[in-house]
Amino acid sequence: MISTHILDTQLGKPASFISVRLFQVETNRYIGEGVTDSNGRIQDLQIQIPIEQGIYQLEYDVAPYFQKLNTPSFFPKVYIQFYISALNEHYHIPLLLSAHAYSTYRGS
């Protein structure tokens, strides 16, 4: 399973209603997508094909979020690549976001 959440560190609250898409990098295949809920979370991306070992990329479309806040943003999208090695593990990728910076880590 792959999940994510976004925290707007500038406001200190979850970032809601951000579209996130998942791709398999080596084949550039679209895998699935979701939209963050009111808690900034996507518990389980709507994955269209089986996940295999390899490199994946989450694409966060953050520009509309900042436009709604009337906040200029340096990043229109954020891309996070990660490696899936064990198919039976849960991969949780948090995104700490502000208008001019972001960071991530492997969550649990």
**What residues in the chain have per-residue pLDDT under 50?**
none
Q: What is the pLDDT of residue 86?
A: 94
Contact 32, 46 (CB under 8 A): yes
Please state whether 38 falls in left (phi above 0), alpha (psi between -120 and 50) or beta: alpha
Extract the annotated binding site.
Answer: 5, 41, 105
Domains of the chain: 2-104 (2.60.40.180)
pTM over 0.75: yes
54 vs 7: CA distance, rounded Å: 27
Q: What is the pLDDT of residue 53?
A: 96
Q: What are the backbone angles phi and psi of residue 3, rounded to the nearest 5°?
A: -135, 165
Extract the annotated binding site for substrate.
Answer: 5, 41, 105
Q: What is the pLDDT of residue 49?
A: 86
